[in-house]
Amino acid sequence: APGAARPGTKRLPRAIVVGVKKGGTRAVLEFIRVHPDVRALGTEPHFFDRNYHRGLEWYRSLMPRTLDSQITVEKTPSYFVTKEAPRRIFNMSRDTKLIVVVRNPVTRAISDYTQTLSKKPDIPTFEGLTFRNRSLGLVDTSWNAIRIGMYAVHLESWLQYFPLSQIHFVSGEKLITDPAGEMGKVQDFLGIKRVITDKHFYFNKTKGFPCLKKSESSGLPRCLGKSKGRTHVQIDPEVIEQLRDFYRPYNIKFYETVGQDFRWE
């Protein structure tokens, strides 16, 4: 009836996309919300890092209304690198399902830098920020763009509170080459029917990644915003090589911990 309250209840999320920045988290959120059994918060609430003092009821008030059969999902990629986030999420619900979208840490760092550069054109060069001492190959791990890609280090904090069975890792690379396959695994992990399949995607050659054929509301094709698919800054191949060497031990430890080889070598 006109003016009637929308059905459903605002519930705390049962699944959270906790990371990582510039990995493909927005794509995962946009793809999964096509599913009739999923309702997702469109904006990043930053509750478990910046807004925790506002309390759980404030957090719940932001959520979309869901029916009993639906799952509430939110995404804030900075949670993955926030020390307090695992404990805080665990305190909300130890059954929370966590989704981490990862991609080659070297590419991720360049993408991160490219995004920052578009907002602050006067920042130092990528090389200048990457190294404490380039001739010695000393990488500056205090720079966020570098630190985020040390996945194995951040994962340790999560594994103190959550078993690996409650964390699902999405390959940012495969999300581009095989979105239906990656989203099939996400649907399995969430315990929902595989509704999102090949027929939902088409490859946008201009942007260089897959887009949804139609969105839930408009029935028109839907691609991620202008900020996605930016042309990356050109980086000296030698710098890329040094970064590959830097990340290699972290990558190997990450593969071993999660039991999955992402083939970033």
Decide if 244 contacts 137 (C-beta within 8 A). Answer: no
pLDDT score recorded for residue 97: 98
Q: CA-CA distance, 169 to 148, in Å (whole number)?
A: 15
pLDDT score recorded for residue 213: 84
Rounded mean pLDDT for each run of 10 residues along the chain, 265 residues in total: 71 98 96 97 97 98 97 98 98 98 98 96 97 95 98 98 98 96 98 95 85 65 65 92 97 98 95
Binding residue positions for 3'-phosphoadenylyl sulfate: 22-26, 103, 111, 228-232
Structural domains for the chain: 9-122+148-231 (3.40.50.300)
Asked about 22 being catalytic, the answer comes back as: yes
Residue 145: how many CB atoms within 10 A of its CB? 22
pLDDT score recorded for residue 50: 98
Q: Which of 21, 22, 75, 97 is catalytic?
A: 22
- pTM given for the model: 0.93
Decide if 89 contacts 16 (C-beta within 8 A). Answer: yes
pLDDT score recorded for residue 216: 52
pLDDT score recorded for residue 215: 53
Binding residue positions: 22-26, 103, 111, 228-232
Decide if 154 contacts 80 (C-beta within 8 A). Answer: yes
Decide if 25 contacts 101 (C-beta within 8 A). Answer: yes
Alpha helices in 93-207 (DSSP H): 105-119, 126-130, 144-147, 151-159, 172-177, 179-190
